[in-house]
A and B are shown apart, each in its own frame.
Chain A
Amino acid sequence: MKNKRPFSKDILIIEDIGAECERIVTGIRENVLHRLHRIGGVIGISGGIDSSVSMALAAKALGTENLLGIMLPEQDSSGDSARFAQKLADKFGVKAITENITGALKGFGCYIRRDEAVKKVLPEYDPDHYKMKIGISNSGLYTNLPPLFSLTIVDSKSNQQSKRLPPNELRQIEAASNFKQRCRMSMLYYHAERLHYAVIGTPNKHEIEQGFFVKNGDGGSDIMPIAHLYKTQVYQLAHYLGIPNEIIERTPTSDTYSAEQTQEEFFFQLPFQQMDLLWYAFKNGYDPQEVGIVMDRTADEIEKVFGGFERKIKTTEYLRMPPLSF
């Protein structure tokens, strides 16, 4: 690659953050108004860093009076999510409403279908007395074997039990849980259509490229203003835009299962700072030897990580595909 900068831990820092911010703001405005022909935007806000930065950018682009923030909690959501989301909306002067989707999810049988699969693996599970989550083994990143999912249940005394998830139960738990993101998408479109607004999606670069989203769920929107940014860069923008510190300092979670779970243990296997650098190195064709020196890993380990990335791209391609026609 021509003029490729030496690989370093600072390689992702955006040098002119103000200019990047302005470029995104202009992009939102131009695309919403002149390509999508909508007069404003709706955005799901969770109190997480991605939706917070996306909301702040959209507010600058469209004006606070043309933006609606929607909190979409359900019975498993953390109370912190609503509190932080409201704080964010208040700070930026954006109107925020709450749409609790628990009733819709019960209608779909989301919880019953999920719990049925959980009980098949750990029969003592009772949703009234246990919390649950699924996660992956973090031994998977430096080997050629993909990680396996396990189920964890936690009782009221914080005693945990975990078991490897067989394929049928894993698929049922994931499929049932995905009702959550798809319900949220439906509700966002209800308000968008009612107001003649566009739905502003909030995934970042990793989530899209590694397939950490639900097809036609949080992957369903009209415009994705931070889809080109690494998480490190999203944080850089957060500081620049004045996102509240509690949100910036919060550990990214999936907020999908009743037991607490970080995005790292559910999907990424590494803290985002390391994942960002490795992903950048992989996407930009850096030599594993050079990357290994910076990341304090062997070239062989880095090659295995890159192999895992290739596998992830290949196996999640289906999520990024538009409906096929022929």
Chain B
Amino acid sequence: MNYFPIYLHNLFTISSMEQDVLTIKQKINQYVLQNTFAEKLKIQDDSLIFKEGYFDSMGFIMLITFIEEEFALKTSDSDLIEENFESINAITSYIIRKKSKQ
């Protein structure tokens, strides 16, 4: 009999890439919650955080600065488009793409 629960088995076999994605999402999620005072349930990975108006100009530049410092990357002006920042999912993909080019 296998006493190892399936969900734990899945967790232990998760790839390092998937782990990276999870870690980045968690960090961005935590940052958004701490800095926008939004309700936790309203900030999902696919929530359109800019369309919903959680960030103004100051909030946006603070988010960019957080990403640059936390993930040791440099954003160029051409990176600052909605496709890269509209949600936690989009930001995560952007960070992974950016890191893979470093």
Q: Report the stretch among B10-18, B19-27, B78-86, B94-102 that lies at the interface.
A: B78-86
Q: Which residues of B contact A147 (CB under 8 A)?
A: 57
Distance A145 CA – B86 CA, assembled complex (angstroms) = 8
Contact of A149 among B57, B65, B82 (CB under 8 A): B57
Contacts of A136 in B (CB 8 A): 57
Residue of B nearest to A166 (CB): B65
Is there a chain B Cβ closer than 8 Å to A164's Cβ?
yes
Contact residues in A for B56 (Cβ distance below 8 Å): 146, 311-312, 314-315
Instruction: List residues of chain B with CB within 8 A of the CB of A146.
Output: 50, 55-57, 59-60
CB distance from A309 to the nearest CB of B (A): 10
A297 interface hit (Cβ, 8 Å): no
- Do the beta carbons of A144 and B61 come within 8 Å of each other? no
Residue of B58, B62, B65 with most partner-chain A CB within 10 A = B58
Assembly CA distance A148 to B61 (angstroms):
7
* CB interface residues, A 132-147, toward B, < 8 Å: 136, 140, 143-147
Asked whether any CB of chain B lies closer than 8 Å to the CB of A198, the reply is no
Does B48 have its Cβ within 8 Å of any Cβ on chain A?
Answer: yes
Minimum Cβ distance to chain B for residue A276 (Å): 22
Query: Is A310 part of the contact surface with B, judged by Cβ < 8 Å?
Result: yes
A106 at the interface (CB under 8 A from B): no
CA distance A306 to B22 in the complex (A): 34
Q: Mark A305-326, 1 if CB is under 8 A from B, else 0.
A: 0010011101100000000000
A170 at the interface (CB under 8 A from B): yes
Kindly list chain A residues whose C-beta atoms are within 8 Å of the C-beta of B86: 144
Residue of A149, A167, A314 near B53 (CB, 8 A) is A314
- The answer, among A140, A149, A315, for a CB contact under 8 Å with B61, is A149
Bound-state Cα–Cα, A164 to B77, Å: 8
Best-surrounded residue of B56, B57, B59, B81 (most CB of chain A within 10 A) = B57
Asked if A143 and B82 sit within 8 Å, CB to CB, the answer is yes
Per-position 1/0 for A150-178, Cβ under 8 A of B? 00000000000000111100110000000
Interface contact A144-B82, CB-CB below 8 Å: yes
In the bound complex, residues from chain A placing their C-beta under 8 Å from that of B48 are 144
Closest Cβ neighbor of B56 among chain A residues: A315
What separation, in Å, do the CA atoms of A128 and B88 have in the docked complex? 45
Instruction: Please list the residues of chain A having a beta carbon within 8 angstroms of any beta carbon in chain B.
Output: 136, 140, 143-149, 164-167, 170-171, 307, 310-312, 314-315
